[in-house]
Structure 1
Amino acid sequence: MKRLKPNLRLKNKKISMLCDTCGEDSFEINENCNSYKCNVCERIYTKEELIELNQEAIDFAVSQTKEELIKHAQKQFGEIFKKWK
């Protein structure tokens, strides 16, 4: 039986968190304090704050990834079952 091929582009998808103050996506992580500091404006966030402030972008990326994953799975199953016709 043919195995499904993983879509590595979907597996390695990343979402950039943006600073709510300046819009930058570069942060310095302080693991001791569990905080993230924007490298431009130096605003400090907790992980929960960054997620909350970027929730709309996260939801959009998840939705897009779901659609791509469904299309990929349909294509893979189509190729597998094409031989059974």
Structure 2
Amino acid sequence: MNGKRIGIFGLLMAVIVFGMVFSGCTQNTSTQSSNVKLSQTGSSTVLPLAIAWAEQFEGAQISVSGGGSSHGLNSLLKGEAD
């Protein structure tokens, strides 16, 4: 009887985990435009990747600049960058 309970519990947990994993796999069909504004600054090594990333979000205003990691951290602390 104990083995049967473990099996039922395991099946229940598998169903819960499966549901949690795939509940976020829905297509966003919203037609509303967002007013997102982001400012990213810092690492010049990551700059080309950040620019490519920003280009993928046409509805958002994303400002990307380099200047080094310390510049990015200082801008973040001053509230000048996200």
Do these two structures clear the TM 0.5 threshold for a shared fold by scoring above it? no
User: Which structure has the higher relative contact order (CA within 8 Å, separation 6+)?
Assistant: 2
TM-score, length-scaled by structure 1: 0.31
Rg comparison, structure with higher value: 2
TM-score, length-scaled by structure 2: 0.32
